[in-house]
Structure 1
């Protein structure tokens, strides 16, 4: 993965989130995606903090979008590795967030959300 791909992906990813179009967001992910975030416990009550598969991710993010009508992401920085990228962004509350995404065949197969202190 190169930085050019990572930057394009991050901009498209943020635009998908900012559109609030769940299927557009999910188009970036494999069917067998695994995603972990502390928000999973808060939103769907799963103590593992993890969802497995696109259907589970869809259910989690649908609830999240319902809870956050003013959701908006602003990309601040993007970094690339071999098969992984990191998107550093600010959410609608000004909170710093990092999304770490590992790819397979051009789609995200594993993701982690990590949150900084509340703004």
Structure 2
């Protein structure tokens, strides 16, 4: 897949996330996609930071949207090749300090198959 198309997937990801359109967000993922996040380790320690499948992703993000109604991501940079996109963005939540985040989305056949979040 062309890097430009991978970047378009990333931009649709940000749009769906920021509008909290969960079905639109999940439509970008393969049914068996995996997602790793340090926040998962904190809020769902039984996962050890990793969830598998769109059902688990739905549960995780719905919980996040419910807990953090002002959650918003601002894109800083996108760097893509034909397999993945590296995203840098700022996480803002009213009443919390902004957090700088990096995330990698791995894409196969036009769908996200793995995502990994990095932050301090």
Q: Report whether the alignment pairs 1:106 with 2:110.
A: yes
Distance 1:47 1:54, change over 3 A: closer
SS at match of 2:46: coil
Match of 1:95 in 2: 99
Normalising by structure 1, report the TM-score: 0.88
Match of 1:37 in 2: 37
Cα contact 1:101–1:112 (8 A) shared by 2: yes
Match of 1:70 in 2: 70
Per-residue CA deviation, residues 55-110 of structure 1 (Å, 9 max, x unaligned), is 11111111111111101111110011231111111111421111101111101001
User: 2:79 and 2:46 mapped to 1: Cα distance?
Assistant: 30
Cα contact 2:36–2:49 (8 A) shared by 1: yes
User: 1:112 and 1:35 mapped to 2: Cα distance?
Assistant: 6
Normalising by structure 2, report the TM-score: 0.88
The number of residue pairs the alignment matches comes to: 116
Shift in Å, 1:47: 4.8
Cα contact 2:87–2:102 (8 A) shared by 1: yes
Per-residue CA deviation, residues 33-60 of structure 1 (Å, 9 max, x unaligned), is 0110111122222252100111111111
Gaps of at least 5 residues in structure 1 are: none
